[in-house]
Amino acid sequence: MTMKDRSHDEAMAELFRDDPVTAAATLDAIFADGDQGELLVTLRQMAKAFGGVQAVAKAAELNPTQLYRTLSETGNPELRNLNAVLHAMGMRLAVEPLNRPVPHV
């Protein structure tokens, strides 16, 4: 199979499967930008990398049908589901301080 025979999603899934540091950095950048659509696309690609939505749902102890809906273009993952999915992929959410002063309220 040549590179142009593969879809972008397949290529990204392979990259995320082979390079978890890049997968984590990609998600971190998306969280910093706050782009929900981009997050859902990337999570779908990552699910493909980790055996598909069915396999990720099983590992995350989530309902596969609900996970398909959650990761759809109109999905809105709850924090607990997002955490479960990330854990199934060997990752977790983390918070770090911004490199700027926080205004006092």
Averaged over successive runs of 10 residues, the pLDDT of the chain (105 residues) comes to 69 89 93 92 94 95 94 93 94 85 72
In a domain, 94, yes or no: no
- Give the pLDDT score at 104: 73
Structural domains in the chain (count): 1
Q: Which domain holds residue 38?
A: 3-88
d(CA 11, CA 13): 5
pTM: 0.82
Domain membership flag for residue 59: yes
Helices (H) and strands (E) in the chain, counts: 6, 0
- Is the residue at 103 inside a domain? no
The answer to whether 13 touches 49, Cβ cutoff 8 Å, is: yes
Residues 6+ apart with CB under 8 A from 37: 73
Contact yes or no for 62/53 (Cβ under 8 A): no
Tell whether 71 is covered by a domain.
Answer: yes
Residue 81 lies inside a defined structural domain of this protein: yes
Residue 10 lies in a domain: yes
What local confidence, expressed as pLDDT, does residue 98 receive? 79
Do the beta carbons of residue 39 and residue 105 sit within 8 Å? no
101 is a domain residue: no
Q: Report if residue 63 sits inside a domain.
A: yes
